[in-house]
Structure 1
Amino acid sequence: MTHGSTSDEAFWDTRYGGNDRVWSGNANTVLVREVTGLVPGSALDLGCGEGADAIWLARRGWRVTATDISRVALDRAARHAAEAGVADRIDWQHHDLGASFPAGTFDLVSAHFLYFRGDTSREEVLRTAASATAPGGVLLIVGHAGFPSWEENPDPAVRFPGPDQVVESLELPDGQWEVLLSEEHERTQTAPDGRPSTRTDNAVKIRRVGADR
């Protein structure tokens, strides 16, 4: 997950710096399910965190550009990639996605749980992600459908768009994209007290019309 602005960069550097590992170290399940079977090419991992998704992709032959706002997370991810033997297949880039974005186009663009705390518009960043998807390539967006069950005081101002709303917000030109997946799904997530809990997320997978992959 990544956020915008210098203060958010400091926030995430502090969070990552205060723990040896923030996330599980496993690739996101939707990424594994939806990318397995695709022909490896170039991939862009937005909000890469500690690098689990990027490393999973690199192990399967993808050439990965992975970006995050936290340099602490990127340094840790690079160490994990070296330990996994795929350091030469991943380009780690530091970006505040509200201000800068990796150059080029990619056969796969992945945005898992990409949210922003400041003025950065998630919709605008995802539209940029769509424009960075090469013809024949796939854009995969995964997000939350609501707050977790253990959230005691959820902010009523926070909006979690549904999958169809995500597709609509991309403002895709007619006839240039094919929606392959637009759904909600449940997964098990461990609550802060250690108990397993069910959480609902949503996923969007769209293909830019062009050469088959």
Structure 2
Amino acid sequence: MKQPTPGQTASEFWDELYGERDAVWSGRANPLLVRGAQDLTPGRALELGSGEGGDVIWLAQQGWQVLGVDVSATAIARAAGHVAEAGVADRVEWAQHDLATDFPEGEFDLVSAQFLHSPLEQEGERARILRRAAQAVAAGGVLLIGSHAAAAKLDGDEDDHAHDDYEFPTTAQMLEQLALPDSWQVELDEEVTSRFSWTDGREGNRTDSVLRIRRPRQDA
């Protein structure tokens, strides 16, 4: 992934990345989101790091009312266009937040954090964001976290060095960091290996994790 320049803010970095090309991501919903949310009853959803809107569109198509949140105004504008083209704009709202310092208000039946990794991430930052995300889950709702579990392996390469400096947490580590009450129920805790295509057309394998945790209808 592109690396930030010294002193660059999160919004500047991601605006620059999205501005370099017409499409950064595939436009399709993340398979881990589909895996973790396809059997849920639609309600109000919060999509953290909504990017170009692929996950937001899928959720809206399933009947969710979605708040898409991203640090990049460029990404939000692009995603809003895709949502309008998909015919689900009436089910979607947008908000720009730097989750490291600012978090949207409200409670949600689903809080989705898919691949919330960043080269600007400070130590402990992701864990703090996910703890705040758990606080936004309504009674009886779920927190759904999709994460890279290891650096991707490109075909023909021993290693891919795109994430050499990044430590990918295990689901056990994430649960420890979340420090949720025992009354919260882990409903899904899996690692999934799949094929992927790099931005330059090369292909490889990657291992990701999905974690779905449900808040009780009444906190103990």
Q: Normalising to structure 2: TM-score of the pair?
A: 0.88
The 3-state SS of whatever aligns with 2:128 is helix
Question: Could you say which residue in structure 2 is the equivalent of 1:138?
Answer: 142
Q: Distance in 2 between matches of 1:72 and 1:154?
A: 24
Aligned residue runs from structure 1 range 38-77, under 5 A: 38-77=40-79
Correspondence for 1:127 among 108, 124, 131 = 131
Partner Cα separation in structure 1 for residue 84 and residue 163 of structure 2 = 40
Equivalent AA in structure 1 for residue 70 of structure 2 = D
- 2:4 aligns with none
Offset of 1:54 from its aligned partner? 0.5
Note the residue ranges of structure 2 that are not aligned, 5 or more in a row.
1-6
- Residue identity in the other structure for 1:80: H
Moved over 3 A (4+): 150-157
Q: Which amino acid aligns with 1:42?
A: R
Indicate the SS of the match to 1:64.
strand
More displaced stretch, 125-134 vs 112-121? 112-121
**Aligned-residue offset at 1:146:** 1.2
Please give the alpha-carbon distance, in whole angstroms, between the structure 2 residues aligned to 1:56 and 1:108: 13
CA deviation map 1:113-142 (0-9, x unaligned): 102314370000000000100111011001
Supply the AA of the counterpart residue of 1:10: E
Tell me by how many angstroms 1:174 deviates.
2.1
The 1:195–1:155 alpha-carbon spacing in structure 2 relative to 1, beyond 3 Å, is closer
CA distance in 2, matches of 1:139, 1:73: 23
Aligned CA RMSD, in angstroms, stands at: 1.9
1:181 to 183, 188, 210: 188
What TM-score do you get using the length of structure 1 for normalisation?
0.91
Match for 1:161: what amino acid? P
